[in-house]
Chains A and B, each alone.
Chain A
Amino acid sequence: MERAEEFELIEKAKSGDKHALEKLVEEFAPMVFRFSFNVCRNQEKAEHTTQETFLSVLKKLHQFDNRSKFSTWLYTIVSNHCFMLARKEKANRFVSLDEEESVMPEKTITPWEESPLSRVEQGEIRRLLDEGIERLSPDYRIVFVLRDIEGLSTNEISKITNLSVPAVKSRLHRARAFLRNFLTPYFAEEFHD
């Protein structure tokens, strides 16, 4: 959506235009849902967070000043909702990524299969991805999803999460390294040959 079109739509929604609000849902709810799902790995929770996010949007829309992108603003709101939800989970399930050791690759790198989807069953892949993400604490999850699934820059992520750019980069690196190490036994070449 063009910036001008987005601006017009938001202005209409602010004045209580039902159709403009519907259009905003149409345009942005899939993004909010995808983000929520990837952070909390649960369809019901993702739907709930998406609803909470749009209710917050409705309440705070008059505060949105069009200086930042609407999507950036949405990511900030949905991140907060996901963060609150994830904080209720037991913190002792989360892996500690403070030491460099915990994110260093193995001494001899294990290459992954040409197409990692070919041998592991679809349901099993879902379960492994869920398990990997659930081991990460919320601040690592959010940074990983914003960057690697949603494709945002580290600068944008820094604004959304209130973390410094170096802190975003460090969390991203650790989250990626952990997920790669965690999934390697299931998708590496040698484990199947």
Chain B
Amino acid sequence: MTEHAHNISCIEVWRYICRHHGEDENSKECQAVKQHIAECPHCSAYCDSMEKMIGLFRSNSPTFPEQAKKNLVDLLHEALISTKDKQSDETGNSTTT
């Protein structure tokens, strides 16, 4: 645990990351946090490992299989046809009554 750049501690940096998640790029606090991370081996290793963890999930995301796409389109066509049938039944009924 270190306390150096701008007198903020690693724990404060982690709490800050928790609050903002990089959506607060221009604030003074963000600049201080960035500087702390750049100078602190703990925090830079922490952020680096976090990025690598997220990268693992991203690079291991599967693509949508062609067969699954075909099945889905078929399923939706069937559903569409049965909805249309139902609708025409209903309109048919309403005209006769």
Q: What is the minimal beta-carbon distance from A58 to any residue of chain B, in angstroms?
A: 6
Q: Which of A4-12, A65-73, A82-90, A165-173 contacts its partner?
A: A165-173
Question: Provided the pairs A25-B73, A51-B72, A109-B45 are in contact, do residues A180 and B21 lie with their beta carbons within 8 angstroms?
Answer: no
Q: Provide the bound-state CA to CA distance between A101 and B45, in Å.
A: 19
The reply to whether B57 and A51 form a contact with Cβ atoms under 8 Å apart is no
The reply to whether B57 and A148 form a contact with Cβ atoms under 8 Å apart is yes
Chain A residues with CB under 8 Å of B21's CB are 147, 154, 169, 172-173
Q: What is the minimal beta-carbon distance from A27 to any residue of chain B, in angstroms?
A: 11
Q: Is A22 an interface residue (CB 8 A)?
A: yes
The reply to whether B68 and A149 form a contact with Cβ atoms under 8 Å apart is no
The reply to whether A107 and B75 form a contact with Cβ atoms under 8 Å apart is no
Chain B residues with CB under 8 Å of A172's CB are 21
Q: Provide the bound-state CA to CA distance between A26 and B1, in Å.
A: 50
From B18, B56, B59, B83, residue with most partner A Cβ within 10 Å: B56
Q: Which of B39-74 contact A (CB under 8 A)?
A: 41-43, 45-46, 48-50, 52-65, 68-69, 71-73
Q: Give 22 A-B contacts (CB < 8 Å), ordered by A residue.
A: A18-B80, A26-B69, A29-B72, A30-B63, A30-B64, A33-B64, A34-B61, A37-B61, A37-B62, A51-B75, A54-B75, A55-B76, A108-B42, A110-B49, A112-B45, A116-B55, A117-B56, A126-B60, A176-B53, A180-B49, A183-B56, A187-B53
Partner-A contacts on B (CB < 8 A): 1, 14, 17-21, 23, 41-43, 45-46, 48-50, 52-65, 68-69, 71-73, 75-77, 79-80, 83-84
Partner-B contacts on A (CB < 8 A): 16, 18, 21-22, 25-26, 29-30, 33-34, 37-38, 43, 46-47, 50-51, 54-55, 58, 104-105, 107-112, 116-117, 125-126, 129, 147-149, 153-154, 166, 169-170, 172-173, 176, 179-180, 183-184, 187-188
Which 9 residue pairs spanning A and B have beta carbons closest together? Answer: A173-B18, A30-B64, A112-B49, A111-B45, A109-B45, A33-B64, A109-B42, A148-B54, A180-B53
* Inter-chain pairs besides A25-B69, A126-B60, 16 sampled, C-beta below 8 Å: A16-B80, A18-B80, A21-B80, A37-B61, A37-B62, A38-B61, A50-B68, A54-B72, A108-B42, A109-B45, A112-B48, A125-B60, A129-B60, A148-B58, A183-B56, A187-B49
